[in-house]
């Protein structure tokens, strides 16, 4: 099931919700994970943007700890829900699932839990 999304007009920085999250990449798969992100599918990039994922960055430590950051005009849950119903996201989640240490059949996008902000210097 696919949901068509239209790219929203860019929001002002003040109206964006800043989100940080962590995941754990399998250390033995780090090089493959990095390589995969050198050429993210154009349709995945378009879907993320249309779903309100802006200024999205991923950072990874040598032990596999991954930190993600994004800004979204609504809530993080809303941004996740917009992606959840898209076929391109389902394909991406199947492709990337083996890279993560996750409980059971949990998908990486389901395991993303927003961290509590403690400081921001605008």
What pLDDT shows up at residue 7?
Answer: 42
Q: What contacts 24+ positions apart, CB below 8 Å, involve 33-38?
A: 33/60, 33/96, 33/99, 34/60, 36/95, 36/96, 36/99
What pLDDT shows up at residue 109?
Answer: 87
* Contact indicator for 70, 56 with CB cutoff of 8 Å: yes
Element of type H or E holding 60: strand 54-60
* Contact indicator for 83, 44 with CB cutoff of 8 Å: no
Catalytic residues: 37
User: What does pLDDT average to in each consecutive run of 10 residues of the chain (122 residues)?
Assistant: 43 79 96 97 98 98 97 96 96 95 86 92 92
| Assigned CATH for 23-111 | 3.30.70.100
């Amino acid at each position: 099931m696919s949901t068509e999304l239209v790219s929203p007009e860019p929001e002002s920085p003040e109206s964006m919700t800043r989100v940080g999250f962590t995941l754990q990449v399998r250390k033995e798969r780090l090089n493959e994970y990095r390589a995969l992100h050198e050429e993210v599918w154009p349709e995945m990039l378009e879907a993320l943007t249309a779903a309100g994922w802006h200024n999205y960055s991923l950072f990874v430590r040598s032990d596999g700890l991954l930190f993600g950051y994004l800004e979204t005009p609504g809530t993080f849950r809303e941004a996740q829900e917009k992606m959840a119903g898209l076929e391109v996201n389902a394909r991406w989640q199947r492709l990337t699932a083996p890279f993560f240490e996750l409980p059971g059949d949990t998908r990486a996008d389901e395991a993303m839990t927003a961290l509590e902000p403690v400081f921001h210097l605008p």
